[in-house]
Structure 1
Amino acid sequence: MEIRFIEPEEKEKIKALFVREWKSDVMISREKKHQIEDLETIIALENEKIEGILTFHTMGNQAEIVSLDSFDEGKGIGTTLLDFTLNHFKSMKLDRIWLITSNDNCHAMRFYKKRGWKMVNIHFNAIEEARKIKPEIPLVGYDGIPILHEIEFEYSL
């Protein structure tokens, strides 16, 4: 598997993939609107096929992971992307690495906790505010759980 930053000419392909998979090229976290094409993007490729994507942005001495997606669960793609990205962050000597997931995404919460991430905050009813920016966010998510809150995780390098 090849893990690498995307090339500038691949941005449109990544944007189209987000629109196909998630019906939007916008991500929201902490009431901030992220256009996918403006984010740093790392991909996992196998036989020239994109198997996973991680997007992030840096602000001063911290970085936010905006999205992490594996298109073939259980193969270690998400872990490999995350490890690659954390090594990149270590080389940058960043002070804070964080991310947001929604309260219905129990799979993501388990994934991050198992890898040493700490839950540091629950932003109650933050998804209601996010829907004002991105109305496509569904009311109900995984396992029939209402999507209401943002869960903030942090990783110590």
Structure 2
Amino acid sequence: MDTSTLSAPLPPIADLLPHSAPMVLLDSITQWDEQNIRCQAHSHLQPDNPLRDAGVLSVFAGVEYAAQAMAAHARLLSPAAAGGPPRKGFLAVASKLNASVDVLDSLSAPMHIEANMLAHNADSSLYAFSLTADGQTLLTGQLTAVTVSDNSTD
């Protein structure tokens, strides 16, 4: 990742995402530029994490962490949209997933989420991502997100 970051002050994470608590999983953006974003999270360690199923937080719940990093990145790149609500979208494809653990909270350390934009147009984005904690890779893969056009009726 390029060590430079864009200098605009960052809004709160919750303002960048189309979610509200408790689904805002990211704590902070630690670095970003036009192609990449790095975020940090501790919510994978919380027993009341909304993605837990029967008390277990599958490593594949990490896809949502990566998707939130992508959404935050898209919002940061779109300053004209900053005054309104985040655009609605959905995760269309999760591919090339490679997990090295079974559960996200296998290490009791902050999780680092890195997403790198591979392709982007007005309606979709493709990112490669990695989730790490304590220097260990937890999950890697690629995500394609599709945004809903602004003139659609929901």
TM-score, structure 1 normalization: 0.30
If each structure's helix is expressed as a fraction of its own residues, which one has the higher value?
Answer: 1
Q: Please give the TM-score of this superposition, normalised by the length of structure 2.
A: 0.30
